[in-house]
Amino acid sequence: MGLNALDVAVIVVYLAWLKNEKLLERGTSIVQCIAKVNRTVTLSALEVADMQVPVALVMLCGKVTKAEAVRRLKRAHGSIRRAIKRDRCAY
């Protein structure tokens, strides 16, 4: 018995969802560990940062807005460490 196009599409979507869940969990763990915040704060920051871990980290560690975090990262050429200037995180 072969797979039809719908079966293949469902499998592809499911695998993509699993990959996204793993990436979200990994990003959440990284932000929680470095910024020393709980999961709720982490998920909120990631949502505001459009799921961009570096932006969320700079926002939380530097206590700045998303726009400021993006500016800092751009000035620091993507270096999170330089963007947060060791404000308050375990980095």
32-82 confidence digits (pLDDT tens): 999 999 999 999 999 999 999 999 999 999 999 999 999 999 999 999 989
Q: Is residue 50 part of a domain?
A: yes
The CA distance from 14 to 21, in Å, is 10
Alpha-carbon distance of 77 to 33, in angstroms, equals: 23
Domain tally for the chain? 1
45 belongs to a structural domain: yes
Please indicate, yes or no, if residue 29 is contained in any of the structural domains: yes
pLDDT for position 58: 95
Q: Are 57 and 78 in contact (CB under 8 A)?
A: no
Q: Is residue 19 part of a domain?
A: yes
DSSP state string for 2-43: ---HHHHHHHHHHHHHHHHHHHHHHHHHHHHHHHT--HHHHH
CATH number, domain at 78? 1.10.8.1080
Whether the predicted model's global pTM rises above the 0.75 cut: yes
Q: Quick check: is 46 in a domain?
A: yes
